[in-house]
Chains A and B, each alone.
Chain A
Amino acid sequence: GAGVSQTPSNKVTEKGKYVELRCDPISGHTALYWYRQSLGQGPEFLIYFQGTGAADDSGLPNDRFFAVRPEGSVSTLKIQRTERGDSAVYLCASSPSGMNTGELFFGEGSRLTVL
């Protein structure tokens, strides 16, 4: 596709449930990032992939959060035992090569609401 695609656009779940959020980056972009944005705040870094490997997962808040990118393209962010504090918009972004040399292309985000 032309841009970064994220699904679902909205997800409402109950506390304690498991959630998967999917990101399909721009074709050919090797760098992929997950960010979390709470209301009124800036995007907060979660994890960065270069190709298939998680090059930096230092932003993941705890071990309930995990992300994969098995074939170096689509990525899935997985949240176990969701808590109300996990409610936010989860943004995915990609860039051609990473290395902080150019813009990030963001998807529309997945809005997660934990009841």
Chain B
Amino acid sequence: GQQVMQIPQYQHVQEGEDFTTYCNSSTTLSNIQWYKQRPGGHPVFLIQLVKSGEVKKQKRLTFQFGEAKKNSSLHITATQTTDVGTYFCAGPRGGADGLTFGKGTHLIIQP
């Protein structure tokens, strides 16, 4: 079945450093979504990318969807302590409704 893989699994950064997480799918995706989960919280939707090569920005966050629509990345510029959490990418479940989530990248920020 369809798989969504994320790297790295953990990322430690100093506050103010940049952070990037990468997502790869075994199949072409019609769209990809990103979610953030704070420690002890639930996943919260960040963004959806639909078009090949699409780039979207939300303040310090930049999201990209690959040309082949099989990979995506999330880049955070100048991390802040409020960015702490786990970032998940998710793609449609190959012909079925619902999403397949990656295992997430846990962002740990050291002040």
A and B held together in a complex: yes
Chain B: CB-nearest residue to A91: B42
Q: How large is the interface on A (under 10, 10 to 19, 20 to 34, 35 or more residues)?
A: 20 to 34
Q: Does B75 reach chain A (CB closer than 8 Å)?
A: no
What 10 pairs across the A-B complex have the smallest Cβ distances?
A42-B101, A103-B45, A100-B92, A106-B42, A98-B97, A43-B101, A42-B103, A48-B98, A106-B43, A42-B104
Indicate with 1 or 0, residue by residue over B39-57, a CB within 8 angstroms of chain A CB atoms. Answer: 0011111001000000000
Q: A56 and B33 in contact (CB under 8 A), knowing A42-B104, A106-B43?
A: no
Contacts of A42 in B (CB 8 A): 88, 90, 101-104
**CB-defined A-B contacts under 8 Å, sample of 13:** A40-B103, A41-B104, A42-B101, A43-B43, A48-B96, A58-B96, A91-B43, A100-B92, A100-B97, A100-B99, A107-B42, A108-B41, A109-B42
Q: How many A-B residue pairs have CB under 8 A?
A: 58
Interface residues of B (CB under 8 A from A): 30-31, 33, 41-45, 48, 88, 90, 92-93, 96-104, 106
A35 to chain B: closest residue by CB: B101
Q: Any chain B CB within 8 A of the CB of A55?
A: yes
Query: Which of A44, A100, A105, A107 meets B101, CB within 8 Å?
Result: A44
User: Which among B88, B98, B103, B104 is the interface contact of A33 at CB below 8 angstroms?
Assistant: B98
Assuming the contacts A33-B98, A41-B103, A45-B98, asked whether A100 and B31 have C-beta atoms less than 8 A apart, the reply is yes
